[in-house]
Structures are given as C-alpha cells and as structure tokens.
Amino acid sequence: MKDLPNIVEDSLNPVSNEALFAINKTQEKPKILLLYGSLRERSFSRLVTEEAAYLLEFYGAESKTFNPSGLPLPGDADENHPKVQELRDLTQWCDGMIWCSPERHGAMTGVMKAQIDWIPLSVGAVRPTQGKTLAVMQVCGGSQSFNAVNQLRVLGRWMRMLTIPNQSSVPKAFLEFDDDGRMKPSSLYDRIVDVVEELVKFTLLTRENREYMTDRYSERKESYEAFRKRIDQRATED
C-alpha cells in the first residue's frame, strides 16, 4: 500500500474506527469504481482518485479506476465498443463509486458526463447502479466552487444511487500536489479522507440490504400487472 501523508497516519489508526473494521472483517471487501474527468497527462482529478484509491485500500476495500481515454462520445459508437463494455462491466462489478470531475466553464467536464451517459439505467431486468453508493468530488483551477459536485449529485440521484452526504472540492488543485503526484497534507486532504471513510461505511451498511432499500411499490405493481397479462394471454390461447 502506498504511504499516506504523515500528518494523518495517527488519526487513521483502526482503533478509532472499531465498528468499521469489525464489519469489514465479516464481509467481502467493498468494491469501489473510481471515475475521473480529464484526459490531461497531469490530471488533477485523476490524482485525487489515486489518493482515494490508496485510502480505500487502507480501509479494506478493493478499487478499480476506469481510464476514460479512448471512450467514444455517446452516440458515436455502439455499446459493443471495447471501452464501453469495459466501463459497463466495471459498473456491474462494483458496490459503489467515486466520481471526481474538474470544473470547466462552471460545470463538470464532457469527459465526466460521457462516462456517466454510457452507463445504462437498466440492462434487461438489471439496474446496474440502483442502490449502489456514490461519493462525489471535484477539483478547481481557481477558487473553490461546488458546481461540479452539485451536478454530480443530480446525476447520482438520476442513476438511483445512494449518494453520501460528504463531498470534496479542491481549489487551486495545481498547488496541492507534489512533483510525484502525491497530495500534500492539508485540510483539503483531510476532507478526502473523510469522504472515503464515509463511503466505505455507507457501502458496508447498505450493500446487503440494497434490494430491500430499492424495492418500489410502483415497480412491484407494474411487474404484477405484466405477470397477470401473460397469464390471461395464455388462458386465451388455451
């Protein structure tokens, strides 16, 4: 595991998170997918997700990060495109996600939105994102803003995800990383620790109850009516 900044090592002692680690010992590792929203060589949204991945490992989770390079724009290829399939497979694999986008022109980037647009609300009878947990983060080139995370929350709700209360926004991100791409110790880093810890907790507490929590009367009614219609059709045919 990558070293964590010294300033937080003591406060990350598992003794302070007994409940979290006790639950984690009795369950399969939470599986978290990380998405970032920039293709730049030194992408600060990617660097934030890398820091989050180190923390996820510390908290006993398994993580995978999707590289959006090569992903076509929605509608410019079909769902059989290799990058689309890779993204959709990871969406099926995970128990929760972290989305981190730069803010560009007061909004999330097109790279970020394209990834989310390629994730379907349903595949047959399966809803790939429904009931899964989500944490949202953003990086800013200038002063702190929350435009991107606010938009990501709207999308998370639309994708029927359980978006955790905490979030992270890193202003002047170019000042927050060293030459090796590691985030410097700061209150901004501490907030990322908070977000990752909270995401793992929410994932552990809700994962086993996902189907119950997302069970809806309207969908049960629709399924029942479709079932009755099939029964009636068969009776007519007989």
86-129 pLDDT, tens digit per residue, is: 999 999 999 999 999 999 999 999 999 999 999 998 777 678 89
Q: Please tell me the pTM assigned to this model.
A: 0.84
10 phi-psi bin (left φ>0, alpha ψ -120 to 50, beta other): alpha
Calpha distance 127→219 (Å, rounded): 12
pLDDT of res. 210: 75
- Locate the domains of the chain by residue range: 6-237
Question: What is the CB neighbour count within 10 angstroms for residue 62?
Answer: 15
Task: Determine the pLDDT at residue 56.
Answer: 95
pLDDT tens-digit map of 198-223: 999 999 999 888 777 777 788 788 87
Task: Give the architecture-level CATH label for domain 6-237.
Answer: 3-Layer(aba) Sandwich (3.40)
Distance of CA 167 to CAs 11, 96, 163, 195, 200, Å? 20, 15, 9, 6, 13
Tell me which amino acid residue 172 is: K
Q: Is the pLDDT of residue 14 over 70?
A: no
d(CA 218, CA 205): 25
State how far the Cα of 182 lies from the Cα of 5, in Å rounded to an integer. Answer: 9
pLDDT at 7 > cutoff 50: no
User: Rg for the chain (alpha carbons), in Å?
Assistant: 20
Residue 180 confidence (pLDDT): 94
- In this predicted structure, the answer to whether residue 19 has a pLDDT above a threshold of 90 is no
